[in-house]
């Protein structure tokens, strides 16, 4: 597995809009493995492909304490967001050392492909909802 360099603000490549993944093939599966390795090494709870200079709609997340519950979201679509909001302090691996309050939907539902290319739906609230919305903003 490769450790990928993470782009940092103010790198203009962070503004590039990611395109949908056309096929969940061996290249994307290697990207997912490399992104998980990079996220764990950086001690993040999420990472978007944009942050490693790959401009395709791929996200990895792990909010578990044991760091053994990886979640892979490919071509994520927000299908529902609560009107109820939560405000949390957020950090970003691309803006090291900066934390600030961000208001986001308290609960969401997202449809995405997993690392095997199967479609699945996720209902999220709390930190998972915050993290998914943060990573989707990167894309
Ligand atoms: O996308 C990223 O830059 C990763 C980022 C995700 C994130 C953090 C906090 C709230 C929403 C999304 C990080 O993982 S930064 C590291 C960090 O702040 C953190 C690490 C462990 C627990 C909580 C926060
Ligand atoms: Zn970030």
Q: What is the pLDDT of residues 69-86, one digit of tens each?
A: 999 999 999 999 999 999
CA distance 29 to 117: 10
Pocket lining: 90 vs ligand 1, CB cutoff 6 Å? yes
Question: Which residue CA neighbors atom 5 of ligand 1 most closely?
Answer: 92
- For residue 89, the model assigns a pLDDT of 97
CA distance 16 to 20: 13
Mean pLDDT of 49-57: 99
Q: What is the pTM of this model?
A: 0.97
Pocket lining: 102 vs ligand 1, CB cutoff 6 Å? no
pLDDT band (50, 70, 90) for residue 41? very high
pLDDT band (50, 70, 90) for residue 110? very high
Pocket lining: 70 vs ligand 1, CB cutoff 6 Å? no
- For residue 128, the model assigns a pLDDT of 98
Mean pLDDT of 87-97: 97
Among 99, 98, 96, 90, CA closest to 129: 90
């Amino acid at each position: 597995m490769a450790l990928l360099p993470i782009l940092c603000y103010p790198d203009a490549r962070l503004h590039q809009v990611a395109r949908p993944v056309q096929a969940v093939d061996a290249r994307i599966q290697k990207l997912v493995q490399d992104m998980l390795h990079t996220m764990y090494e950086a001690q993040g709870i999420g990472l978007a492909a944009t942050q490693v200079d790959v401009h395709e709609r791929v996200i990895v997340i792990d909010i578990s304490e044991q760091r053994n519950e990886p979640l892979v979201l490919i071509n994520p679509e927000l299908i529902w967001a609560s009107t109820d909001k939560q405000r949390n302090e957020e950090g970003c691996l691309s803006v090291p050392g900066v934390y600030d309050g961000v208001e986001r939907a308290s609960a969401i539902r997202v449809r995405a492909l997993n690392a095997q290319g199967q479609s699945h739906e996720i209902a999220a609230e709390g930190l998972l909802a915050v993290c998914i919305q943060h990573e989707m903003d990167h894309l």
